[in-house]
Amino acid sequence: MGASDRDYFRDEERRYAGGGALPGLTPVTKWLLIANAVIFLIDFFSRSGKGINAFFGVINEPLCFSIESAFLEGRIWELLTFQFLHANPWHLIGNCVGLYVFGPWAERWWGSRRFLVFYLLCGVAGALFFTLLTLTGALPGRDLMSPLVGASAGIYGIFLSIAVIDPKERVRLLFPPVELTMRKLALIAMGIAVVIILVDNLVGGRPSLNSGGEAGHLGGAILGYLLTRFPQILRKGKGTEEKIIRPKEFRRRRQVPKLRPRTAVDIATASDVDRILDKISRDGIQSLTDSERETLNKASKPTKER
């Protein structure tokens, strides 16, 4: 019996593949998207000046991350709040697209609660890596008061998580219109971040290069890789039978239902079969009793052979 045939996977399918305005979205990803959009709109329409005030309104200004305010002034909550802030519409759109495409994928693997913790921790790691590179002078033009906003660190953590979970999975980019494996996409994204930081050092620091943001990307990506490589850190077993359930699979099953012969599972309940299969996995097939062997044998035969 495959993992996708079990009852709890069918429950997940019904949960995530239902109708609504955003079909296929998982719960935490949906609320992260909503929170990012609502917070940005409130902040955007409260902006009234030029310079930094052109990018910071009533929410961004008090809640963005900076080394001085977070660590020297004790506003440690900025390690979390900056992840929901964005500088401009394009910044918001880019991050929301990444979260919309890749967030549900990772959330189904981690589970909603662990995914939220994973996502926020990757964001925190982005701010800490930004702090490290700023203090060591690796980010020219940045100082203790330089602000950091955006969800990108968490999203880069998701990229690396998927690259570890399913490195050969192929994705097609909108721009440029190419198809890549998740492993290549993650490596390219991290490579671009490293190159931008190096170039910024060579030219003496240019805000347009956004090396501070790229430092955040790298921090989130590094922690995303480590947490997925060692999921027990978040108290998640590696689970060799776990499978990422994707919306396209849901649609395919609903549109083209498969006709299967009735089996003798009505004689041996699905829970009995699952229990026996778990016993085989744990103790080996030699551990089965004659009754359990007979149950498996009946369950494997089509009804017409009974």
Domain boundaries, the chain: 3-250, 260-305
State the Cα–Cα distance between residues 236 and 95, nearest whole angstrom: 27
Residue type, 39: I
State the Cα–Cα distance between residues 29 and 33, nearest whole angstrom: 6
The CATH number of 3-250 is: 1.20.1540.10
Residue by residue, DSSP assigns 57-114 as -TTHHHHSB-HIIIIIS--TTHHHHGGG--SSHHHHHHHHHHHHHHHHHHHHHH-HHH
Note the pLDDT of residue 38.
97
* Residue 195 CB-half CA count within 13 A: 6
pLDDT at 253 over 70: no
The pLDDT tens digits of the residues spanning 151-163 come to: 999 999 999 999 9
pLDDT at 69 over 70: yes
Q: How confident is the model at residue 286 (pLDDT cuts 50, 70, 90)?
A: low
pLDDT at 41 over 70: yes
pTM of the predicted model, to two decimals? Answer: 0.72
CA nearest to 212, candidates 127, 155, 136: 127
Q: 208 or 234: which carries more pLDDT confidence?
A: 234
Task: For CA atoms 174, 179, 181, 186, give the dihedral sign.
Answer: negative
Mean pLDDT of the chain: 81
- Axis crossing angle, helix 7-16 with helix 247-255, rounded to the nearest 10: 100
Note the pLDDT of residue 238.
56
What CA dihedral angle connects 184, 189, 190 and 194, to 10 degrees? 130
